[in-house]
Structure 1
């Protein structure tokens, strides 16, 4: 797949009402509240920014952010952090609701899962390994958390059995329709482990490499139901590709390549959004072809920049997208990997 067919128009940004806002990509003076709305993306995936989304009371710091985003059936947005608030919950308009899951601080990858009439967040909880922001040690584990923030299951547990390589470097998690739980060790062995719904290890597959069924930082995971039988979609970050496996871990093929270090995915109909660490979000169709670039950053010095300060950030421009989620309307919520913490809402233009 080649990107040359995608014109630069896909990356364009337009300010509504203030035509000069992105000339030179200036940022406003420190202390100036940003109220302008920025347009970014392309075609049916054109978005407008929501200024001020995700502010905490008394201008508290959200981050560090090195995690994910999930949306529940009522539209509430859950943003994991490495900070003291652990996981922050926001209304769709960006109003802070509460902080939860203090025992699950440092969730890296996450997925919202409906089980019967309840919803749970499954998370890959990473500690200081590969996560230098955390000063306090946390457990390296997969967790199932209810929407009040209580940990109701963890892996490993008494049913798990021996995990090859342990849980060193846990990064991603995905739950299949049958309850199977997939956990990736992208900062460690580059194995993906499959567990049953109670946490018993069923099998392991993958490992480090660049060929079939091998990964270089198998970072985020998703369950792709667009092709009939559910598939596991793997963000093979340092191979700069997305790959499909069946739910037994057998190789299907490369779904998309030439990406900018893909970290996580979210699905909306026949499309998926990919958070790319090198400063943009790309929307792919069912064939893995890009149809829209959102928030593309022309300043390569900021790409994958953990230390980009708030005053150096530009509305509608990402620095290091790490976690993201669609809501049911197709709006996007994006978390940058950032020392201070950053989450953005991109409102779909209809």
Structure 2
């Protein structure tokens, strides 16, 4: 799956250089017209789509692949985007205005996690291209840098470490998911010192096929666990904090990025359903029983004998959505990968 993803990127760049014409739907980058007429989702999770929410002047605020978004305690929205000639972190307000941008140290900026309160909030940024993880302040001061964990025999070269995501515990300990590398989940203490690891590449219950995303699930406050995607296998897994496999939840047809929890519900960006060679994807909303209850950007979720049937992309809403951020009003913000350098869009909860 990783080779396929890179193959798609290479083909996209070649096509662009040859004058490949993008579809007429430009998501508001050129000659924007306000578009709030599209309604997506199902049941209690339906939304009006605003494709112009995050649109900027690309000559002033350029983006490439937009990967992930988090919200700080002031309601500001931070987003990672790739590139060597642009800032890799954009900071939006809720209206879609860019307040500032910073950081050109993270050209492959991918995962973005936030923790802490008020002035003590901090970020973790993963970059599989630079083979590093950074801890920073909200304005970009680097506090910690991690490279490949030499304590693990599975790594012999720095380039094998291609981290995609982090999950942070309240005590400052954190986990790094090496989703584009060796598929280990590495556990560190608050000082960035190696503690232990689990996982690895494979199809066993305690292994992963692209552990792209990880999050701490505290919905059961007495028993916090880790949710970890195995994206190429179209499933996610639950582990104890010490790395014991607890359950696997298949989502057929859904190549899911990272788990995002809001209230009692679990959200995923489904980056693709059928093929990496064309724009695709949707969002998935799951209840506490891990049943899909809404598929914004796709057809209504259907189950047959308890098994989710592969969803169908609506052909218009998204271009490879890579993450989803949920605000306190239940609105969704969605950055997109390999989408023709589009800016994030917003789904207003109905």
Aligned equivalent of 1:143, options 123, 134, 145: 134
Q: Secondary structure at the match of 2:79?
A: strand
How many equivalent pairs are there? 298
CA–CA distance in structure 2, aligned partners of residues 276 and 195 of structure 1: 29
Task: Note the C-alpha offset of 1:273.
Answer: 0.9
SS in structure 2 at match of 1:277: strand
Q: CA RMSD in A?
A: 2.7
- Which of 180, 189, 204 is matched with 1:211 structurally? 204
CA distance in 2, matches of 1:163, 1:125: 19
Q: CA deviation at 1:96?
A: 1.2
Paired with 1:200 and 1:262, the residues of 2 have a C-alpha distance of 30
Higher alpha-carbon deviation: 74-83 or 42-51: 42-51
Q: What secondary structure does 1:238 align onto?
A: helix
Over 3 Å counting, the alpha-carbon distance change for 1:49 and 1:223 in structure 2 is same
**Where do residues 1-350 of structure 1 align in structure 2 (5 Å cutoff)?**
27=25, 31-37=30-36, 38-57=38-57, 60=60, 62-83=62-83, 84-115=86-117, 117-127=119-129, 139-156=130-147, 162-164=151-153, 165=155, 166=158, 168-228=161-221, 229-278=223-272, 279-296=281-298, 314=316, 317-338=317-338, 339-349=340-350
Greater alpha carbon shift after TM alignment, 88-97 vs 317-326: 317-326
* Cα pair 2:164 2:179 within 8 Å, conserved: yes
Bigger Cα displacement from structure 2, 54-63 vs 87-96: 54-63
Return the offset for 1:336: 1.0
User: What is the CA–CA distance in structure 2 between the aligned matches of 1:211 and 1:230, rounded to whole Å?
Assistant: 23
Task: Give 3-state SS (helix, strand or coil) of 2:232's partner.
Answer: helix
SS at match of 2:67: coil
In the alignment, structure 1 segments of 5+ residues that lack a partner are 1-24, 128-138, 305-312
Higher strand content, 1 or 2: 1
1:145: how far off? 1.4
- Hey, what's the Cα distance between the residues in 1 that align with 2:72 and 2:29? 34
Shift of 1:297: 8.6
Q: TM-score, structure 2 length as denominator?
A: 0.78
Structure 1 position 43, deviation (Å):
2.2
| 3-state SS of 2:295 partner | strand
- For 2:307, the equivalent position in structure 1 comes to none
- TM norm structure 1: 0.78
Q: Which moved more, 1:77-86 or 1:254-263?
A: 254-263
Q: Which moved more, 1:141-150 or 1:249-258?
A: 249-258
Q: What is the deviation of 1:198?
A: 0.7
Cα distance 1:201–1:48, how it changes in 2: closer, same or farther (>3 A)?
same
Taking the aligned partners of 1:198 and 1:161, their CA distance within structure 2 comes to 16
